[in-house]
Amino acid sequence: MKNNLSMIPLLLTKNWNLAVKIASSLFRIGKARYLLKRNFGFDHFKNLALVYFKPTGACNLRCKTCGQYGDKGVMNDCAAEENKKILPLETWKKFVDEIAPQKPTIYVWGGEPFLYPDLFPLCKYMVDKGLLISVNTNGTFMEKHAEQIVRDKWGTIFVSLDAFREVNDDLRGKGVYDKVIAGFKAIDREKKKQKAKYPMLGMVTVVSNKNYMDLANLSEASREYNIDLHVYNLGTYTNDNIVATQKQFMKEKLDTDIDCLESYNTGYNLGIDGKKLHVILKDIQEKNFGHTILTVPTLNPEKTHTYYAELETPVRNHCVVPWCQLNVDYNGNVHFCADYPDYIIGNITQQSAKEIYNGERANKFRKALNESEGGMFPGCLRCYQNMLFGRKIKGF
Ligand SMILES: C[S@@+](CC[C@H](N)C(=O)[O-])C[C@H]1O[C@@H](n2cnc3c(N)ncnc32)[C@H](O)[C@@H]1O
Ligand code: SF4
């Protein structure tokens, strides 16, 4: 299967400027591998390549596999209280000013980012500063805002779509499929009308036991969506044993109680026939749909079965996240791990970005990670960030 860099040549032909910015971030993420042993007394901030913004934790959907609102979502019991805690635009702008000199790629997600009331001014502020922004959305607000998205020159949009109408809407909610398709069409229409190159349009499909048998047909249909990139996210899954081990580990090493990993213990990996999925993904990769196809992680197709059926077998290790990335939540809390906001390294309302990134809690985390077997905590076996940028284990 193709690796992350395989998208660059096609992007170069479509949008040179965007391809260069993405390549620059990937280069710094690659460089992070050589910084892994450095903890205290080193300016890690210089290598900040990717910053996740979660301006809101609120969401209009309740997707079944989601770590926040899914069957075991961490937000299910506390959303009403938590979603009152969003930060004002000025706080985010100040934070942007602090990180902009490092020229990181910005990944705006949520919750559903369109529910943050100042999403447009925030994104415009970052685009005007020359930052590459990617917005990850469920796509349900895209049609309504297509004109402004194109006018404001957002770099890329990654839209979640898991399947055709029946299965997608079973997983994500009634009417979602039609809204997403209408959104794709609206963006395409606006790009033509405004003669614009931006945004690059990506589709993200989370592979589960509910949709994997129909992925080939979805790929065929995607020819019509005029997308630039289709990411097959092989999905974040875990099990009771991994959760228990990680709980104990985080308590002992970092004195932290964790809640988030359990939210991916959903069982939507169970029963996936790795051999069949391998054939499906291989066929998809071999076809030319006019857009780039990526799987995350890029996996030796013969190991597809292992990915879903043997969750305790690592496929990536030596996580680089704390040496090149960070995630800021809706309440200003900063974490390394976007999907597991348990260990807080600071808060942007109280400290500068650089203080947080080079601070004691950040370095304690780096040290614990460096000292762990394979440079990875026991709970991170299928973590999306590690799947994207961790070191490939031989054979996988
Ligand atoms: C939590 S959502 C937030 C952004 C937005 N609300 C959306 O759905 O695109 C971020 C991404 O996680 C994906 N996702 C949902 N369940 C997942 C799982 N179990 N493993 C990996 N990614 C998952 C979503 O499809 C989406 O692409
Ligand atoms: S739209 Fe995104 S954040 Fe909302 S429930 Fe679905 S995956 Fe989770």
CA of 121 relative to ligand 1 center, distance in Å: 24
User: Where does residue 390 rank: exposed (0-12), middle (13-18), buried (19+ CB within 10 A)?
Assistant: buried
Cα separation of 185 and 146, whole Å? 9
What residues flank ligand 1, with Cβ below 6 Å? 59, 63, 65-66, 68, 109-110, 112, 136-138, 160, 204, 206, 233, 235-236, 264, 384
Q: Whose CA is nearest to atom 22 of ligand 1?
A: 235
pLDDT at 5: 58
CA of 207 relative to ligand 2 center, distance in Å: 15
pLDDT tens, the chain, 396 aa long:
555 556 666 666 677 787 888 888 888 888 887 776 677 778 999 999 999 999 999 999 999 999 999 999 999 999 999 999 999 999 999 999 999 999 999 999 999 999 999 999 999 999 999 999 999 999 999 999 999 999 999 999 999 999 999 999 999 999 999 999 999 999 999 999 999 999 999 999 999 999 999 999 999 999 999 999 999 999 999 999 999 999 999 999 999 999 999 999 999 999 999 999 999 998 998 888 888 899 999 888 889 999 999 999 999 999 999 999 999 999 999 999 999 999 999 999 999 999 999 999 999 999 999 999 999 999 999 999 999 999 999 999
Looking from the CA of residue 112, the nearest atom of ligand 1 is 6
What residues flank ligand 2, with Cβ below 6 Å? 59, 61-63, 66, 68-69, 110-112, 138
Please count the residues of the chain. Answer: 396
Cα separation of 29 and 160, whole Å? 24
115 close to 59: Cβ distance less than 8 angstroms: yes
Exposure string for 207-220, b = 16+ CB within 10 A, e = fewer:
bbbbbbebbeebbe
Q: Whose CA is nearest to atom 3 of ligand 2?
A: 111
219 close to 283: Cβ distance less than 8 angstroms: no
- Both tokens of 205, joined, read 């499909």
Shortest-distance ligand to the CA of residue 73 = 2
Q: Whose CA is nearest to atom 12 of ligand 1?
A: 66
What is the torsional sign of CA 10, 13, 18, 20?
positive
pLDDT at 7: 62
CA of 369 relative to ligand 2 center, distance in Å: 29
Looking from the CA of residue 110, the nearest atom of ligand 2 is 3
Cα separation of 211 and 63, whole Å? 13
Those residues whose C-beta lies under 8 Å from the C-beta of residue 215, and which sit 6 or more positions away, are 205, 207, 232, 277, 280, 281, 284
CA of 392 relative to ligand 1 center, distance in Å: 23
pLDDT at 89: 98
pTM of the model: 0.95
pLDDT at 22: 84
The secondary structure of residue 155, as a DSSP letter, is: S
pLDDT at 8: 63
Q: Which of 62, 66, 208, 295 to mutate to test the pocket of ligand 1 (most atoms within 8 A of CB)?
A: 66
What is the torsional sign of CA 50, 56, 59, 65?
positive
Residue 93 host element (H or E): helix 89-99
Looking from the CA of residue 159, the nearest atom of ligand 1 is 9
Looking from the CA of residue 268, the nearest atom of ligand 1 is 19
Shortest-distance ligand to the CA of residue 172 = 2
pLDDT at 31: 83
Strand ranges for the chain from DSSP E = 50-53, 105-108, 133-137, 156-160, 200-206, 229-233, 292-296, 316-317, 325-328, 333-335, 346-347, 391-392
Q: In what order do the strands lie in the sheet with 200-206?
A: 292-296, 229-233, 200-206, 156-160, 133-137, 105-108, 50-53, 325-328, 333-335, 346-347
CA distances (Å), 318 to each of 33, 275, 395, in order? 8, 28, 16
pLDDT at 206: 98
Q: How far is CA 309 from the centre of its chain?
A: 23
Q: Which of 66, 135, 179 to mutate to test the pocket of ligand 2 (most atoms within 8 A of CB)?
A: 66
